[in-house]
Chain A
């Protein structure tokens, strides 16, 4: 299971990476925005994408849309972990095809629950 974590803050990437390792996913790479993440996704054979929304360069929503528009990536499970808390935004993310949505600040238990739910649905 290879995971890509996209967030512009290195501390947040590190927190998510640690939590994922606790959940048994130790193969995770990092990117700091959508522009860096997209080429990695296209060439890297990732199984799961965890992305922030608000980032300089390409936002998480645009990254999600690009992933869904790409024939090779469109089935990639995407979990959004973000401080964006407007109802409209959550609806927009859902319409763009997000698989899970976690609002910051979040707990390890919430992250675990959402990830498990995503993989349950896939299997």
Chain B
């Protein structure tokens, strides 16, 4: 915590008044010891320890109050309407994220429905166009018998009608796919709100931890820390997508990296 304390406003938790007293008494003590007046020096030492005790009590009192304040701000115990509303904000966060999961899944499925609807139409357009192109080439090379030409003539007629309808339907599919992306706006807002809440809770937790360590420092309390549970995420079970993969050495940055790694293993 040392790096976090600010010496200008906070002399390790002692106020200006206390440090000033300390300085004056220390000088007095030095003078009396030098002058050989040990009885007076003892009195000064007494005064000094009283100053220390008083400032300690005052400081512990202040920090305890701040600690209570922080705990209250952390909204763990809903004793009034405001607090219970804040608490419901917390439970709401998981509801909100659940909503994001639902929205994204709905959009993905809607998009895939439309794509699956459009794909067979596109492929039959492609196939029919390819066959007609080949027939047309035969006609241009004058390889076509009159009866065949009449059949082609009718087929092209039908093709134009179908092509028009199929292209219109595909266009509709595409514009519906476009609309299905509107979830991003809503889920984006929800995620931003939840992120802000997490940040808020994080800040409160941090000041709580700092205050607790401050009280410990002043009272000289030493905690016996339980053995840290440093169980890592299980690589065996899988850890999910890596964030900031390009900044990390132990993570591949894409398929090319995977291929290189596997080929170095003799794949």
Contact present for A84 and B238 (CB under 8 Å): yes
Mask: chain A, 77-94; 1 = CB below 8 Å from B; 0 = not:
000001111111111101
Task: Judge whether A91 and B241 touch: CB under 8 Å.
Answer: no
Is B261 in contact with chain A by the CB < 8 A criterion?
yes
Q: Does A14 contact B (CB under 8 A)?
A: yes
**Is B240 in contact with chain A by the CB < 8 A criterion?**
yes
- Flag if B237 contacts A110 (CB, 8 Å): no
**B105 CB to nearest A CB, Å:** 6
Known contacts A14-B112, A15-B112: A86-B239 contact under CB 8 Å:
yes
Whether the pair A85, B251 counts as a contact (CB closer than 8 A) is yes
Q: How far is the CB of B213 from chain A (nearest CB, A)?
A: 35
Q: Which of B115, B252, B254, B265 contacts A94 (CB 8 A)?
A: B265
A86 touches B251 (CB 8 A): yes
- The smallest beta-carbon distance between B116 and chain A, in angstroms, is 7
Contact bitstring A102-114, B, C-beta under 8 A = 1, else 0: 1110100010000
Contacts of B258 in A (CB 8 A): 85, 90, 101-103
Q: How far is the CB of A32 from chain B (nearest CB, A)?
A: 14
B193 CB to closest chain A CB (Å) equals 25
Contacts A11-B108, A94-B262; is A60 near B250 (CB within 8 Å)?
Answer: no
Q: Collect the chain B residues with CB atoms within 8 Å of residue A106's CB.
A: 255
Query: Known contacts being A90-B252, A103-B255, is A54 close to B238, with CB within 8 Å?
Result: yes
Chain B, residues 230-267, CB within 8 Å of chain A (1/0): the string is 00000111111110010000111111001001100101
A59–B236 alpha-carbon span in the complex (Å): 8
Task: Indicate if B195 sits at the interface (CB-CB under 8 A).
Answer: no
Q: Which residues of B contact A82 (CB under 8 A)?
A: 238
B109 at the interface (CB under 8 A from A): yes
Q: Are A54's CB and B240's CB within 8 A?
A: yes
How many of B's residues come within 8 Å of A, CB to CB? Answer: 27
CA distance A13 to B113 in the complex (A): 14
One digit per residue, 1 when the CB lies within 8 angstroms of any chain A CB and 0 when it does not, for chain B 127-142 equals 0000000000000000
A55 adjacent to chain B (CB < 8 Å)? yes
Does A53 make an interface contact (CB < 8 A)?
yes
How far is A86 from B233 in the complex, measured between Cα atoms in Å?
A: 12
Answer whether A83 and B240 are a contact pair too, CB < 8 Å, given A91-B261, A101-B258. yes
Q: Which of B119, B242, B251 has the largest count of A CB atoms less than 10 A from its CB? A: B251
Known contacts being A102-B255, A103-B254, is A53 close to B238, with CB within 8 Å? Answer: yes
CA distance A104 to B235 in the complex (A): 16
> Known pairs A10-B105, A14-B112, A92-B235. 6 more at Cβ < 8 A?
A86-B239, A89-B238, A94-B262, A94-B265, A102-B255, A103-B254
Q: Which 6 A-B pairs have the closest CB atoms?
A: A54-B238, A83-B241, A11-B108, A53-B238, A85-B242, A85-B251
25 residue pairs bridging A and B, Cβ less than 8 Å apart: A10-B105, A11-B108, A11-B112, A18-B115, A55-B238, A59-B236, A59-B237, A82-B238, A83-B240, A84-B238, A84-B240, A85-B241, A85-B252, A86-B235, A86-B250, A86-B251, A86-B252, A87-B251, A87-B261, A88-B235, A90-B252, A90-B262, A103-B252, A103-B255, A106-B255
Residues on B facing A (Cβ under 8 Å): 105, 108-109, 112, 115-116, 119, 235-242, 245, 250-255, 258, 261-262, 265, 267
